[in-house]
Amino acid sequence: MDFFSISSFLTNNQMKIKYFLWILLPLLASCSNDEKYVNVPLEFKVPSNFPALVYNIEVNPPTQKGFELGKKLFYDGRLSSEGTISCGFCHIQQNAFTHHGHTVSHGVNNLAGTRNSPPIQNLAYQTQFMWDGAADNLDFQPIIPLLSAIEMNGNLTSIMAMFKANATYSKLFKEAFTDGQINSENMLKALSQFMVMITSSNSRFDKYRRNEVGGNLTSDEIAGYSIFNSKCASCHATDLFTDNSFRNNGLSINPMVNDVGRYRLSELNQDYYKFKVPSLRNIEKTAPYMHDGRFGSLESVLNHYSNSVVNSETLDPILKQNGVLGITISANEKLQLIAFLKTLTDDQYLNDTRFSDN
């Protein structure tokens, strides 16, 4: 091939290459942008042994980017006034998202609250939140600890300014929500998406109930389950192990605090000293127990119900039958009950890296 033929060949093919790139590059750029901003919905499955979902998941459906944003928010201490107290500070995954080792939660400036941090698990099946039911919508619940002067003492104006100045947050808000707005509404929605997905449904008990591999219970555990059904399941109902009600369970009143429970909100006399019935899932990992963390062991809890229930006008009728206070539980029954309760520990949930601070 002579010089002119080579020159002609290169020129023609260069033009073809240029034309090809002219067509292809916009398509590649489009694909790249589509991949960058795609927001994949997360599947939420109701376990077969669970009751029906109560959270309206269609209003705030979990997505990959919403979950990612919510997780970042959950573990970010910068939402607090001193920059170190995050949601995850009082809700530690290995302890079923409770504040292990603390009778009551600690917040900014090492201030102590009056109540024990409740676990975060299966929130999409609950209708009211906090020990006294101060929130009845999960999408709004986080605002309570966030703005609490004792817990996080956050300032929404400062928080939004921090988000807008942060490239990662700016990107996540844009990807997580259709409007892409950095505001408190989207912040709370993202936190809800993260918490909704925190499900505990794979304990040994769950596998027993679903007749799955690994669901074998010992004779003592089965006996404990039978005792539980006859003496505890009225309040700790369904496989969620709570009926979501508020009850006075006969605790002596701490005069230094005089926490009146649900009465603080309702101002109805019948609500004096009533607190939300907690779920018993992962109870082995959530000590200390009760709304004020007064009991350090499951043995102490059972001893309270068998020996130390205090009578009052609002004491739950279940704990005051035929003139007898409390629940009759023998020493052996207590051992079997505790053996059963430990089958509710869900190691998959406790160690799931999707929920961890990594």
Determine the pLDDT at residue 27: 43
Determine the pLDDT at residue 100: 87
Which of 115, 119, 71, 123 has the alpha carbon at shortest distance from 96? 119
Q: How confident is the model at residue 342 (pLDDT cuts 50, 70, 90)?
A: very high
CA distance 223 to 99: 31
Average pLDDT (216-231) is: 98
- β-bridge mates for residue 119, sequence order: none
pLDDT in tens, 27-85: 444 444 445 668 999 999 999 999 999 999 999 999 999 999 999 999 999 999 999 99
Determine the pLDDT at residue 332: 98
Which of 66, 116, 68, 69 has the alpha carbon at shortest distance from 96? 116
Higher per-residue pLDDT: 308 or 16:
308
Determine the pLDDT at residue 18: 42
pLDDT in tens, 107-156: 999 999 999 999 999 999 999 999 999 999 999 999 999 999 999 999 99
Is the predicted pLDDT of residue 6 greater than 50, yes or no?
Answer: no
Domains and CATH numbers, the chain: 1-36 (no CATH), 64-199 (1.10.760.10), 204-348 (1.10.760.10)
pLDDT in tens, 148-201: 999 999 999 999 999 999 999 999 999 999 999 999 999 999 999 999 999 999
Cα-based torsion angle of the residue sequence 220, 225, 228, 229 in order, rounded to the nearest 10 degrees: -140
Is the predicted pLDDT of residue 13 greater than 70, yes or no?
Answer: no
CA distance 272 to 267: 8
CA distance 75 to 190: 13
CA distance 13 to 339: 78
| CA Rg value for the chain | 27
Measure CA of the first residue to CA of the last residue in the chain; give whole Å. 62
Is the predicted pLDDT of residue 287 greater than 60, yes or no?
Answer: yes
CA distance 325 to 358: 48
Phi, psi of 315 (to 5 degrees): -55, 135
Determine the pLDDT at residue 35: 53
Determine the pLDDT at residue 22: 43
Using a cut of 0.85, tell me whether the model's pTM lies above it: yes
Cα-based torsion angle of the residue sequence 184, 188, 194, 195 in order, rounded to the nearest 10 degrees: 160
CA distance 145 to 322: 42
SS3 readout for the chain: CCHHHHHHHHHHHHHHHHHHHHHHHHHHHHHHHHHHHCCCECCCCCCCCCCCCCCCCCCCCCEHHHHHHHHHHHCCHHHCCCCCCCHHHHCEHHHCCECCCCCCCECHHHCECCCCCCCCCCHHHCCCECCCCCECCCCCCCHHHHHCCCCCCCCHHHHHHHHHHCHHHHHHHHHHCCCCCCCHHHHHHHHHHHHHCCCCCCCHHHHHHCCCCCCCCCHHHHHHHHHHHHHCCCCCCCCCCCCCCEEECCCCCCCCCCCCECHHHHCCHHHCCEEECCCCCCHHHCCCECCCCCECCHHHHHHHHHHHCCCCCCECHHHEECCEECCCCCHHHHHHHHHHHHHHCCHHHHHCHHHCCC
Determine the pLDDT at residue 158: 98
Determine the pLDDT at residue 23: 40
Determine the pLDDT at residue 36: 63
pLDDT in tens, 225-262: 999 999 999 999 999 999 999 999 999 999 999 999 99
Cβ within 8 Å of residue 22, ≥6 positions away? none
CA distance 235 to 254: 24
Is the predicted pLDDT of residue 3 greater than 90, yes or no?
Answer: no
Average pLDDT (192-215) is: 98
Cα 169 versus chain centre, distance:
22
Determine the pLDDT at residue 31: 45
CA distance 6 to 57: 66
CA distance 23 to 29: 11
